[in-house]
Amino acid sequence: MQPRGLTAALPETSARTVTHRRLVSGPNSSRRWVIGYLFILPTLVFVGVFSYYPAVKAMQGAFSNWNGFNPPVFVGLGNFVQMFQDPVFIASLWHVLIWTVVGIPLSLIPPFLVAEMIFHLGKARSQYVFRTMFIIPMVLPGFVGLLIWLFIYQPTGLLNQFLGAVGLGFLRHQWLADPHTALGALIGMGFPWIGAFQLLVLYAGLQAIPMEILDAAAVDGVGTWSRIRAIDIPMIRGQWKLLFILAIVSVPQNLIAPLILTDGGPGTATVTPVFYMYQTAIGYGLYGYGMAIAFLLFLAMMLLAIVNMKYIQSQPD
Amino acid sequence: MWLPAGLIVLAFISLYPIIYAVINSLKTEPQSTVNPFWFTNWPLQWSNFLIAFETIWHAFFTSAIITSVSVVGIIALASLSGYAFARIPFPAKNVLFMIIFGLLLVPGFLTLIPLFIEIKDFGLLDHDLGLILPYIAGGQAFAIFVFRSFFSGLPDEIFESAVMDGASDLTLYGRIVMPLSIPIMVTIAIINVVGIWGDYVLPSLVMNATGHRTLAVAIVSFEAPKFAPSLNVYNIELAAYLLASIPLLFLFSFLMKYFIQGMTSGSIKM
């Protein structure tokens, strides 16, 4: 794409004199760094006030006893000690572990397979059509997607009616009301798990693989599976890294699904640490305890992300 | 041949929740109980949409204002910063970039409660700004990361000739970078619109007053029995869900080309 704006801009800017250039701190000015700081200043103010300040408060709060009104009282590691004697918190750790271990592959593998399938369609036209079809579900706002799945899982909802219609009526179940299936139902939401964002990112990666490499592989008679393993997956390492890190930080954050669909129940079957943080702070007014839960989960996620970054980077590029 | 066939099946399953919502939003409740999979009898219940709209229109416009102001703010601030990080040399640049980039690793749940209390202390509860300001801050890290990588990839030659003619950084940003970056800006805008329009947790804390709610809060609490008892509550809810999806549908239909161009420009990776 050629910059049409550039040709339009040239005559006008060339009218500027040398003195004027110095005044506006143009790219050759010695005071150009001031412009640099001015450009990032609004961002710094916003993230300082609405991201870093609350983050610092969150870490302070984790070591205090606080009901949100009276001044916080420093309690050292008290909240953390209490946490590991709290059966609900222990249960929530198991839930988030299961959710992460199952959820991350679910968020990456189906989009990758579909990206490969679309990429290997012969015609550019059909690639475009399928890409579009898989992006359409993005028009459903996040909470709407959840509420529709709430309908699907209802005792008289779509899933049970479907099972009845295909002769599998004996499998009908109270998916969200049974402690044994509630967590699985939440994790399974979004079937067949073809995330539009992941799909597009991976598809873009495949498109960027140099044609010569794919041609050479075809000439050498490399089969589909070996090519995917030996060429496609390593060549889109940058995309994998990004999506993997995003999945690690987003999957354990799952708060809204238990909040809207199950309220953590039945019993504590779908309580996740983040949901429990919300419940203790907003529901019970235990702000300090809630923030301690959030802080611990944050540390665990950071550790996971760092280990993964290191591991992925240590591979030869 | 199995490739397109498999894709058609997968696409159908992915789209089915939407199809299901459309079908059942146009029926009465008894009709959906008999057969939720397809239309059973006519006429279609367009009145469901009318009732749904009457119930949520205020929240709909509240969300529209909050989302558009926030996204314009995110793009404006983040593109300026992205330009500075990509194109202007200044001291401590890498440190400052890491400070902003590090926010990608600060999850929303960590700051949720302190942020809620901060908004309360600012007196912004039940006020649109109570969401707009945090949303602008929250959108910076990812947008700057992508913009920086995209702006760095622009060929140096187009900058050099303009610089020789005495263009300032503001000119370079406005006349060269902006026109070349429309697809990536549209992409970042769409990602943020989708996130903010669909957000529930922060709005449920900040804008929970009856009468002035965001769409997500209004629709999630739609189930509550305060709604006039009617035979079709369930179908009207589905109609409300679809109404909530219309802005995103419009956005995608008009900007799909840019969105795919931006997503596939190769800037979104590590």
B48-63 pLDDT, tens digit each: 899 899 889 999 999 9
pLDDT at B83 over 90: yes
Q: Is A153 on the interface with B (CB under 8 A)?
A: no
Cβ of A5 and B179 within 8 Å?
A: yes
In this predicted structure, the answer to whether residue B42 has a pLDDT above a threshold of 50 is: yes
> Which domains, from first to last, does chain B contain?
1-45 (no CATH), 56-263 (1.10.3720.10)
Q: How confident is the model at residue A123 (pLDDT cuts 50, 70, 90)?
A: confident
Q: What is the pLDDT of residue B135?
A: 97
Asked if A47 contacts B134 with a C-beta cutoff of 8 angstroms, the reply is: no
The answer, yes or no, to whether residue B13 has pLDDT greater than 90, is yes
User: B17 to chain A: which residues are within 8 Å by CB?
Assistant: 137, 140, 145, 148-149, 152
Average the pLDDT over A252-264 and give the result: 88
Residues linked to residue A64 through DSSP beta bridges, in sequence order: A74
CB-nearest to A144 from B4, B165, B244 is B244
**Cβ neighbours around A182 below 10 Å, total:** 24
Q: State phi, psi for A65 to the nearest 5 degrees.
A: -105, 120
Please check the confidence at residue A8 and state whether its pLDDT lies above 70.
no
Q: Is A40 close to B80, i.e. CB distance below 8 A?
A: yes
Asked if the C-beta of B81 comes within 8 angstroms of chain A's C-beta atoms, the answer is yes
CB contact under 8 A, A298 and B163: no
Average pLDDT on B99-120 reads 90
**Residue A63 above 90 pLDDT?**
yes
pLDDT attached to residue A134: 94
Q: What is the pLDDT of residues B166-190, one digit of tens each?
A: 888 888 999 889 999 998 999 899 9
Residue A299, chain B, CB below 8 Å: the answer is no
State how far residue B43 is from chain A, nearest Cα, in angstroms.
Answer: 22
Q: With 90 as the cut, is the pLDDT of residue B267 above it?
A: no
Among the partner-chain residues A25, A50, A143, the one whose CB lies closest to the CB of B198 is: A143
Which residues does chain A have within 8 Å of residue B157's beta carbon, measured at their own beta carbons? none
B223 pLDDT tier (thresholds 50, 70, 90):
low
Question: What residue of B is the nearest CA neighbor of A137?
Answer: B15
A window 154-173, beta carbon within 8 A of B: 156, 158, 161-162, 165
pLDDT score for A26: 55
CB contacts under 8 A, A 81-100 vs B, are none
Q: How far apart are CA A257 and CA A185, in angstroms?
A: 10
Omega into A72 within 30° of 0, i.e. cis? Answer: no
- Interchain CB distance below 8 Å, A121 and B96: no
Which residues 58-77 of B are in CB contact (within 8 Å) with A? Answer: 77
Q: Which residues from B are below 8 Å from A66, CB to CB?
A: none
- Within 8 A of B91 by CB-CB distance, chain A residues are 33
Q: Please compute, for residue B182, the number of CA atoms within 13 A of its CA located in the half-sphere on the CB side.
A: 12
Segment 196-235 of chain B within 8 Å of chain A by CB: 197-201, 205, 215-216, 219-220, 234
Residue B196 has pLDDT above 60, yes or no: yes
Instruction: Please report which confidence band the pLDDT of residue B105 belongs to, taking 50, 70 and 90 as the band edges.
Output: confident
pLDDT at B225: 41
User: Which residue, among B101, B196, B213, B85, has the nearest Cα to A51 in the 3D structure?
Assistant: B101
Pick from B178, B101, B175: nearest CA to B140: B101
The pLDDT value recorded for residue A52 is: 94
The residue assigned the tokens 């099946």 is B9
Q: Helices (H) and strands (E) in chain B — how many of each?
A: 13, 0
CA atoms of A163 and B136, how far apart (whole Å)? 45
What value does the mean pLDDT take over residues B127-146? 95
Give tens-digit pLDDT for A179-191.
999 999 999 999 8
A119 contacts on B by Cβ (under 8 Å): none
Of A120, A140, A200, the CB nearest to B263: A200
Q: Is B125 on the interface with A (CB under 8 A)?
A: no
Q: Compare all CA atoms of chain A with the CA of B253 and give the residue at the minimum distance.
A: A136
pLDDT at res. B266: 66
Token couple for B105: 């690793």
Reading the block at residue A141, the tokens are 């706002």
Please tell me which of the candidates A3, A39, A147 has its beta carbon nearest to residue B158.
A3
State whether residue B94 sits within 8 Å of chain A by CB: no
In CATH, the number for domain A81-314 is 1.10.3720.10
Mean pLDDT of chain B: 88
Query: Which residue on chain A is closest to B268 by alpha carbon?
Result: A201
Contact call for B81 and A43, based on CB within 8 A: yes
ipTM given for this complex: 0.89
Q: Which residues of B touch A43 (CB under 8 A)?
A: 77-78, 80-81, 100, 140, 144
pLDDT category at B141 given cuts 50, 70, 90 is very high
Digit-coded pLDDT (tens) for A124-167: 899 989 998 998 998 899 899 999 999 899 888 889 988 988 99
Q: Find the mean pLDDT for residues A222-242.
A: 89
Q: Which of B15, B144, B265 sits opposite A133 (nearest CB)?
A: B15
The answer, yes or no, to whether residue A209 has pLDDT greater than 80, is: yes
Residue B224 predicted with pLDDT over 70: no
Residue A1's pLDDT band, with cuts at 50, 70 and 90, is very low
- A contact test, residue of B3, B56, B80, B110 with most A CBs within 10 A: B110
Spell out the domain ranges in chain A.
Answer: 81-314
Is 60 exceeded by the pLDDT of residue A12?
A: no
If you average pLDDT over every residue of chain A, what do you get? 85
pLDDT at B232 over 80: no
Confidence band (pLDDT; 50, 70, 90) for A258? very high
Answer whether A151 sits within 8 Å of B234, measured CB to CB: yes
Question: Has residue A312 got a pLDDT over 80?
Answer: no
Please say if the pLDDT value at position A115 is more than 90: yes
The sign of the dihedral angle between the CA atoms of B204, B208, B210, B211 is: negative
Does the pLDDT value for residue A243 go beyond 50? Answer: yes
